[in-house]
A and B are shown apart, each in its own frame.
Chain A
Amino acid sequence: MAAKMAGFTIEARAIRKTYGKKQVLSDVSFMAGSGQCVSILGGNGSGKSTLFSILAGVRRADGGSFFYGETELLRHPARIQNVLGYVPQADPLMEELSAWDNLRMWHDKKTLKKELAEGSLALLGIEGFLRTPVRKLSGGMRKRLSIACAVAARPAVLILDEPSAALDLACKENIIRYLTAYKAAGGIVLLSTHDVQDLTICDACYLLKEGCLRPYVYDGDFHKLAEAL
């Protein structure tokens, strides 16, 4: 589960990103505290994945900063890997290898066995297919395995890019249960989603539209949300 880092906050300040002439992110800022889940909502191509990949250190921002407590992470990418786990939209798994071999790429053997034994990864329900090659796994299994890979370093922040896309209800439930437990352990969850079911675990929502991020209060009215997007 998340590293014991209760009391810390993350804060994105004025993050900017331009592709050619298109301003994808324009002074994006938000905050989240320990034990919180923040969702970023937005239409397709609104820049959610770009924002998350910048926060995860995959892409570079044109400007802005991202603080974990007092530590600025964008200028010190090496620190990101100790603080942050990132689950991209597409699964980052090696098809020919078993689930176990994929996990071993991110976890050392001792820690992995401990995590599986203590049950922190058990919540993801991956024990049943640890020896199965990834190419034989379903979409839901792959997503849970991807999350298990991302939390190897017991990060304080977990970023998930559309974690429940194209998953069946049981899988979604499984992931939501895991994220709830992650929050309860003091972790911060950032997720982008198109699924209102995911919003049930969120403490704050933001709407990303035309490069600008603004807070949004989801009151259960799906049509209103769809119009806002």
Chain B
Amino acid sequence: MKRRAAYFLAEWKRILRLLPLQLGISLVVCACVGIPAAALVARSAGEGQDRYRIGVVGDISDSYLGFGFAALQTMDDSRLMIELVEMSEDEAAAALSRGELTAVVQVPEGFVDSIVYGENDIRVTYAVSSGQTQLSATVMGEIADVASTLVTASQSAIYGMQRTLYEQGSADRVGPETDRLNLMLINAVLSRGGFGEVEVLGYVDGLSLEAYYFCRIILLLLLLAGLTGGIFFLGRKSALAGMLNAGGVGALSQIAGEYLAYLGFLCAGFLLPAGLLTFLLERGTILLPEWEGMGADPFFALLSFLVITLVMFAAFQLFLFELADGIVNGILLQLICGVGMGYLAGYFYPSAFFPGRLRFVGGLLPAGAAARFVDCGFLMGNWRGEAAVVLAWTAAFLLLAAAVRQSRILRG
């Protein structure tokens, strides 16, 4: 018993020695993960106000067509704003491939003339990158259809009206009538938001999209904490395990001692990101609809759920390091298992994207259990059942780690 306590104490002394390094690594990870994560959450929060940047290529020298595009670009009060950028075909192709454009509208040569002369056989082409093929392609396609119909039909009407007035010898009416019809066109463009509205509700698993990503990014950080926590397992020796075993500290006690110290080590490493998140929430840099106007207070309540999740992830990581032979293999195993499990559990994309069976499997995994548990914490739901699952996984990982240690000792 005395020796067991001495071993536990020795492990805690180790983490005190390793703590500065851990905090340093934590700082780097915060910078590496935090900045893109904050950008993602901020982007997600501001998605409704995003301007779609569309490249316009081809023959837009005609004054009426130019006027139509200008109206689209500057007089739109609808939620989905469009920025039209005139560019050459090569520039547009390059910008589209770099993701700087949402889409490209190509106006072929003679498009306006074709309309004016009633032939209407030359069509505007709308091109999107592969990343925009789903929702945005549909929405943008509809917008382009509406816009091109409006512009085309209006221009045809204006040209027709002008020709008729000239033929009837009413050249003096051409100017005022053109102005009147242009005003009608502008009004039509301005009110096209009323034709229909695309509304993205943005709720996943009961959370707003922002809250969903907020929780999942933190969970991913905790799940992959083993990558930085690997320094804890550096220099571990099977000789020590054997000698401890001979000295009365068995495999289970060894694992328990290491686990408690490792958990403390990870908790210390989590302090920095938690502090940073508190600051960003308090400052309003991270805005979550569910916590609007509440500052960081709800995050403090969520912290206890995150720490319990860390209890499971620490056991999971300890087990993987125990299973792997050597620190490099251990870190690789952490990465593969962490990323794979996180992916299936919806840490990278909303889980609704996955087929039902995959979602079911993802939910069974520790990462899925952690996600449900944290969601319960976020939504103040009934968390007891999920907590039991998380703790059961923890116990399973610790027992497995102890079994691996025992076998390692026996193999020498």
Interface positions of A (Cβ within 8 A of B): 49-50, 53, 56-60, 78, 80-81, 84, 86, 88-97, 101-102, 104-106, 108, 133, 135, 149-150
Chain B residue contacts of A86, Cβ below 8 A: 243, 246
Q: Residue A104 contacts which of B6, B18, B412 (CB distance < 8 angstroms)?
A: B6
Whether A78 pairs with B240 at a CB distance below 8 angstroms is no
Whether A88 pairs with B243 at a CB distance below 8 angstroms is yes
A81 to B6, CA, bound (A): 15
A88 to B409, CA, bound (A): 12
In the assembled complex, B10 has its CB within 8 A of some CB on chain A: yes
A50 to B412, CA, bound (A): 8
Whether B6 pairs with A58 at a CB distance below 8 angstroms is no
Q: Can you list 8 A-B contacts with CB-CB less than 8 angstroms, sorted by A residue number? A: A58-B243, A80-B246, A81-B246, A92-B240, A93-B240, A94-B10, A104-B10, A135-B235
Chain B residue contacts of A95, Cβ below 8 A: 234-235
A93 to B193, CA, bound (A): 73
Q: Least Cβ distance of A225 to chain B in Å?
A: 26
A17 to B184, CA, bound (A): 97
Chain B residue contacts of A60, Cβ below 8 A: 410
A57 to B246, CA, bound (A): 5
Q: Residue A88 contacts which of B17, B18, B239 (CB distance < 8 angstroms)?
A: B239
A97 to B261, CA, bound (A): 14
In the assembled complex, B242 has its CB within 8 A of some CB on chain A: yes
Interface of B is mostly: helix
Q: Residue A81 contacts which of B13, B17, B238, B247 (CB distance < 8 angstroms)?
A: B247
Number of interface residues of B (CB under 8 A): 26
A133 to B10, CA, bound (A): 13
Whether B239 pairs with A105 at a CB distance below 8 angstroms is no
In the assembled complex, B3 has its CB within 8 A of some CB on chain A: yes
Q: Name the 7 nearest CB pairs between A and B, nearest first.
A: A92-B240, A90-B239, A95-B235, A92-B243, A92-B239, A96-B17, A58-B242
Chain A residue contacts of B9, Cβ below 8 A: 104-105
Given contacts A60-B410, A97-B17, A105-B10, A53 and B242 within 8 Å (CB-CB): yes
Whether A101 pairs with B10 at a CB distance below 8 angstroms is yes
Q: Residue B237 contacts which of A92, A105, A135 (CB distance < 8 angstroms)?
A: A92
Chain B residue contacts of A59, Cβ below 8 A: 409-410, 412
Given contacts A53-B412, A97-B17, A92 and B3 within 8 Å (CB-CB): no
In the assembled complex, B108 has its CB within 8 A of some CB on chain A: no
Chain A residue contacts of B245, Cβ below 8 A: 57-58
A49 to B411, CA, bound (A): 11
Whether A94 pairs with B243 at a CB distance below 8 angstroms is no
Chain A residue contacts of B240, Cβ below 8 A: 92-94
In the assembled complex, B14 has its CB within 8 A of some CB on chain A: yes
Whether B10 pairs with A97 at a CB distance below 8 angstroms is yes
Within 8 A of A (CB), among B14-30: 14, 17-18
Q: Least Cβ distance of B321 to chain A in Å?
A: 16
Whether B239 pairs with A89 at a CB distance below 8 angstroms is yes
Q: Least Cβ distance of A17 to chain B in Å?
A: 11
A80 to B250, CA, bound (A): 13
Chain A residue contacts of B239, Cβ below 8 A: 88-92
Given contacts A96-B17, A97-B14, A101-B10, A106 and B3 within 8 Å (CB-CB): yes
The residue of chain A having its C-beta at the shortest distance from the C-beta of B15 within the complex is A96
The residue of chain B having its C-beta at the shortest distance from the C-beta of A153 within the complex is B247
